[in-house]
Structure 1
């Protein structure tokens, strides 16, 4: 491969990534209720010449929380500072970030529920009074020094809003709950990305990709990338339904959007445990995956599709789950699900 070809390929990938992130609320597809609410908050702040209220974005992964944070900064003409909860493990880490913010800057904290408790307590004061108390020294001689910080807007993102302590959640002026996308909205996402990249893809192929994208734009764009690669390697200039189906079959994405991990979980529930309730830790060991991944990424989709149920005794396959794997559910399955 020539250096020119490599450079062109790199440019195409950068263009693809750029196409995935709208720059304004007007370009953002889906989440119409949240978009209208955010627009009102930003417009009101602009009229009053103040920083917008602190914003909490809650919802499953891949629905656009980071993109919305970028849009909040862009629409307000302010810089954006990105960090994440797991990287803030001490109050000093947060103090260093807050003290370096410029006036009006937007601070985005991804997975905010995973911040250290000491940092959370410091954030309370920063969000309300725009100051932090820094402890200097140890023991009886320790001194608290108040440090003024510039007015800022905090945008927090979380996939587990229930894990946020009430004092922190209550300090957000607006809490947005992002919902899974409908297939029509996902088709718009795919169509927009394809146009940005100059890809020619027919409507049936778009529908097929959207149908298997689990209601998530991030997955839709990822599948579009795989379908594009499949067509490119096959020497096709236009992406039709055959190329889409071929790529999706190659990457083991079935008619409902289930991938390998989803089917492994379903097989454990249906075949290995015959529809009996299974604890999360047991399920994680059986499929060789982390509990957090199953609970935050895989499980919401399977529950939403009605393939599994969360019962008081554990995760349990439903009749629809058995049918999807071509199995007949046990006669006592319904009774078990009604025990909740």
Structure 2
């Protein structure tokens, strides 16, 4: 078989997976599961704009990854009957990048900027005027001969998404008419998400099995859908169906335990419990010990460990809780020589 034949044989499967990802996203607020308060607030905002014949106020979605910020942005455009333009903060690194996007918007268009806190500062400053007055100033020329030319923009709705709302400058945050803080999902809500996904996957799975997947999904629909696909793969390959035993076997194979801890979570806790006798241990020391960036530990691993009560952040460093010792079946022993945070590494 030629290399070309290999590529052709893979493409349909890839397209099917992409189509499934798109189909999983709800198309309306009525289909969207969870975030009940945010849905009610958003419904009111969009209906008011429609009744007054104007574009909706600018919207900011803040919250951890995987909770539906991008999906809600798509729903805003769909329910408003407006076109959607999508971009991201890392892609807008110059004011000119943003000016090119803004100047090409059609009246009423919804502009979605993911990870908006990662935009360049010069682009943020241009966005202030665009959000308030639907106008930008373009500098022409250099030095003493430079002139500012105002450019009027079509009215638009900016929808921003951020996982780090604290990194947004106050002037930008204050220009959003509505800020929605997305919360982690309850297991019962994740079960509803999984029921819909299993139906679309044509996967015959028992309700207790869905509950087990939901309980290991860290309160995040994206993770729940990913684990469901892994269970589907296991069921297809082994031919054992998708019962509770298959779910347990599949998730054990993929290193997801009963609390939803993955390999990196357990590596972090293993360092805190075994090498540092429960802590305290500094962030940088912890990151070096597990071979990851400190930012990854702080932004990805720690929030979940703190939320489920296995880890505590203290001024001296990270400390394991009594529940952590119990979960890993360990007993606190005499502290070793490395149980204190290194100098300058307390946070």
- Same fold, TM exceeding 0.5? yes
CA apart distance, 1:10? 4.2
CA apart distance, 1:6? 5.6
Question: Cα RMSD (Å) of the superposition?
Answer: 2.1
Residue 250 of structure 1: aligned partner: 253
Q: Which one is further off, 310-319 or 23-32?
A: 310-319
Matched, 1:170 2:174: yes
Quick one: distance in 1 between partners of 2:144 and 2:280? 54
Residue 40 of structure 1: aligned partner: 44
Residue 296 of structure 1: aligned partner: 299
Quick one: distance in 2 between partners of 1:160 and 1:11? 32
Residue 325 of structure 1: aligned partner: 328
Instruction: Specify which of 313, 316, 324 is matched with residue 319 of structure 2.
Output: 316
**SS of equivalent residue, structure 1 residue 255:** coil
Residue 200 of structure 2: aligned partner: 196
Quick one: distance in 1 between partners of 2:182 and 2:193? 16
CA apart distance, 1:279? 2.2
Matched, 1:141 2:177: no
Quick one: distance in 2 between partners of 1:182 and 1:331? 38
Is residue 277–residue 334 contact of structure 2 (8 Å, CA) maintained in 1?
Answer: no
Residue 287 of structure 1: aligned partner: 290
Instruction: Specify which of 109, 118, 124 is matched with residue 128 of structure 2.
Output: 124
Matched, 1:261 2:264: yes
Is residue 16–residue 193 contact of structure 1 (8 Å, CA) maintained in 2?
Answer: no
Gaps of 5+ in 1: none
Residue 106 of structure 1: aligned partner: 110
Quick one: distance in 2 between partners of 1:278 and 1:234? 43
Offset from partner CA, 1:24-70 (integer Å, 9 cap, x none): 00000000000000000000000001110000100000000000001
Alignment of 1:55-94 (within 5 A): 55-94=59-98
Residue 272 of structure 1: aligned partner: 275
**SS of equivalent residue, structure 2 residue 318:** strand
Gaps of 5+ in 2: 341-346
Query: TM-score, normalised to structure 2's length?
Result: 0.91
Quick one: distance in 1 between partners of 2:208 and 2:92? 46
Is residue 186–residue 210 contact of structure 1 (8 Å, CA) maintained in 2?
Answer: yes
**SS of equivalent residue, structure 1 residue 316:** strand
**SS of equivalent residue, structure 1 residue 201:** coil
Residue 213 of structure 1: aligned partner: 217
CA apart distance, 1:231? 0.4
Q: CA 1:91/1:201 → structure 2, altered by over 3 Å: closer, same or farther?
A: same
Query: TM-score, normalised to structure 1's length?
Result: 0.93
Is residue 54–residue 173 contact of structure 1 (8 Å, CA) maintained in 2?
Answer: yes
Is residue 83–residue 110 contact of structure 1 (8 Å, CA) maintained in 2?
Answer: yes
Offset from partner CA, 1:227-279 (integer Å, 9 cap, x none): 0000011124x411111111101001001000000001111111111122222
Q: CA 1:331/1:53 → structure 2, altered by over 3 Å: closer, same or farther?
A: farther
Residue 23 of structure 2: aligned partner: 19
